[in-house]
């Protein structure tokens, strides 16, 4: 059997309602050299029947089944069956633009230095998309280069998982997906970044991410804000904070206090808080002083920016540049 260029890895459970549209978007791809590896993770709503029927009509579709073991197990099960040199992720409730595979394939073939390529996306249906997710969409779609992605790597997950195309050898070298109690895709991006894998994003909207209350990112405890913080803290401990026992947190609000807890779990204490609120400056919070920006200079102490207010990140970056602090060396934005 001929080895396809692209393996589409699709784990799914109980997606009978939206699966026909997702499959149609695959059939409409202008790049036809792909296979679909569909892992039905214990569906009981007719999903498997839809997949088997589609496979009977198109030999590019391969269906396998797990016993409801969860997303990570389904991803790794399917990854082991992928025969293509490139792995394109997709879910059973989303839609790919007809040019998606062709554009991503051309870019990866033309840029062998890239290990992972995303594309711009759009939530749908728009009436279901709240203001917060609209801002997330705009933020992520603005991260086009490896440098821009790396700069904001710890702010939020920089990729919508089912929009990416990754070299299979990169996924295998990373050890596939891990179950650690936090988002399996974000954990993967951070591991790939630490391994020196280069990222990029196509500026075209080639993927449509369905918004609905049952979406995994809405319901799974692995995708909670606390789980994201724990994931970030773990990877920071092995990178930016390696060998560091205490940090400065820029932001003495609720987010900063939540960060203090996850850092403590990694053996990192908060030695001072940086804040602009005159009511907080000069006080102590959890045994550490609250200081003003004027009191902070480049002294080798690491700073994590935990201010989540919209626009605050840009203002803090401007302040840091003025006082000679370098992003990635002296400080990182983590919200």
pLDDT tens, position by position, 241-298: 999 999 999 988 899 999 999 999 999 999 999 998 899 999 999 999 999 988 888 7
Q: Check residue 2 and give its pLDDT.
A: 82
**Distance from C-alpha of 88 to C-alpha of 104, rounded to nearest angstrom:** 9
Residues of the chain with pLDDT under 50: none
| Cα distance from N-terminal residue to C-terminal residue, the chain | 47
- Whether 101 and 34 have beta carbons less than 8 Å apart is answered as yes
Residue appearing with tokens 């590896």: 37
Q: Check residue 1 and give its pLDDT.
A: 63
Count the Cβ atoms, other than its own, within 10 Å of residue 92: 26
**Distance from C-alpha of 31 to C-alpha of 225, rounded to nearest angstrom:** 38
The class that CATH gives domain 6-223 is alpha beta
The class that CATH gives domain 225-333 is alpha beta
What residue spans define the domains of the chain? 6-223, 225-333
**Distance from C-alpha of 320 to C-alpha of 300, rounded to nearest angstrom:** 13
Q: Check residue 290 and give its pLDDT.
A: 94
Give yes or no on whether 6-223 and 225-333 have one common fold. Answer: no
Asked if omega into 64 is within 30° of 0 (cis), the reply is: no
**Distance from C-alpha of 303 to C-alpha of 313, rounded to nearest angstrom:** 13
Q: Check residue 329 and give its pLDDT.
A: 95
């Amino acid at each position: 059997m001929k080895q396809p260029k692209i393996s589409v890895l699709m784990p799914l459970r109980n997606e009978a309602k939206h699966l026909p549209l997702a499959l149609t978007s695959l059939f409409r791809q202008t790049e036809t050299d792909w296979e679909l590896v569909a892992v039905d993770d214990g569906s009981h709503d007719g999903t498997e029947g839809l997949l088997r029927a589609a496979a009977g009509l198109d030999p590019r579709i391969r269906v396998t089944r797990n016993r409801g073991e969860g997303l990570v197990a389904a991803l790794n099960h399917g990854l082991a069956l992928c025969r293509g040199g490139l792995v394109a992720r997709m879910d059973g409730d989303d839609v790919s633009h007809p040019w998606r595979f062709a554009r991503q394939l051309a870019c990866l073939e033309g840029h062998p230095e890239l290990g992972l390529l995303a594309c711009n996306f759009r939530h749908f249906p728009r009436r279901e998309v709240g203001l917060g997710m609209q801002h997330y969409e705009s933020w992520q779609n603005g991260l086009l280069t490896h440098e821009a992605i790396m700069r904001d790597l710890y702010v939020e997950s920089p990729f919508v998982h089912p929009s990416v195309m990754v070299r299979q050898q990169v996924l295998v070298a990373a050890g596939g997906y891990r179950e650690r109690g936090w988002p399996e895709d974000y954990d993967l991006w951070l591991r790939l970044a630490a391994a020196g894998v280069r990222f990029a994003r196509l500026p075209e909207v080639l993927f449509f991410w369905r918004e609905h209350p049952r979406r995994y990112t809405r319901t799974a405890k692995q995708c909670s804000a606390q789980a994201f913080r724990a994931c970030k803290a773990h990877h920071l401990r092995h990178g930016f904070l390696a060998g560091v026992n205490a940090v400065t947190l820029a932001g003495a609000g609720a987010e900063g206090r939540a960060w203090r807890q996850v850092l403590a779990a990694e053996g990192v204490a908060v030695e001072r808080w940086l804040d602009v609120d005159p009511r907080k400056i000069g006080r102590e919070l959890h045994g550490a002083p609250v200081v003003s920006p004027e009191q902070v200079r480049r002294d080798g102490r690491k700073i994590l920016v935990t201010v989540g207010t919209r626009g605050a990140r840009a203002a803090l970056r401007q302040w840091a540049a003025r006082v000679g602090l370098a992003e990635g060396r002296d400080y990182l934005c983590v919200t």
